[in-house]
């Protein structure tokens, strides 16, 4: 996997930054509130990061998963690709992900 950087935000407040190099991720937290961050440790492997990102996606076995993938312009279910499109936004919280190079704020991506 290519190197990747992204931020975790609660509305417009950056709560963590994540840098993935190879198979390792380094997470720097800026907020101590557990509902504002996604990653439980400062160092994780890629599998752990992808598992957390998958928790920000619709279920793999959802009845209309193929239709949702098509709507996102994707052919396969891959959590990182889905989160790049959806920013990991969920209806039940205000946590989201902004990838390096994106100039977005919460109002740009909010769904409620």
Q: In order along the chain (112 residues), what is the average pLDDT of each group of 10 residues?
A: 92 96 96 86 95 96 96 97 97 95 96 81
> Which 8-state DSSP code applies to residue 30?
S
- Flag whether 70 is in a domain: no
Q: Does 99 reside within a domain?
A: yes
Q: Quick check: helix, strand or coil at residue 92? A: coil
Does 61 map to a domain? no
Within-domain flag for 94:
yes
Reading the block at residue 8, the tokens are 């975790």
Q: Which domain holds residue 40?
A: 4-56+88-109
Return the pLDDT at 100. 97
Contact 97, 108 (CB under 8 A): no
The pTM is what?
0.92
β-bridge mates for residue 27, sequence order:
18
Token pair for residue 82?
């889905």
In a domain, 79, yes or no: no
Q: Cα–Cα distances in Å, from 69 out to 28, 52, 77, 88, 90?
A: 31, 19, 7, 14, 16
Residue 26 is predicted with a pLDDT of 97
Q: Could you give the number of structural domains in the chain?
A: 1
Residue 69: inside a domain, yes or no?
A: no
């Amino acid at each position: 996997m290519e190197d990747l950087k992204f931020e975790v935000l609660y509305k417009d407040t950056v709560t963590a930054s994540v840098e993935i190099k190879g198979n390792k991720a380094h997470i720097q937290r800026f907020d101590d509130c557990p509902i504002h961050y996604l990653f439980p440790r400062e160092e994780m492997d890629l599998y752990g990061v992808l598992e957390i990102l998958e928790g920000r996606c619709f279920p793999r076995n959802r009845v209309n998963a193929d239709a949702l993938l098509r709507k996102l312009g994707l052919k396969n279910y891959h959590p990182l690709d889905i989160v790049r499109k959806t920013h990991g936004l969920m209806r039940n919280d205000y946590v989201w992900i902004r990838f390096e190079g994106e100039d977005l704020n919460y109002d740009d991506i909010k769904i409620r």
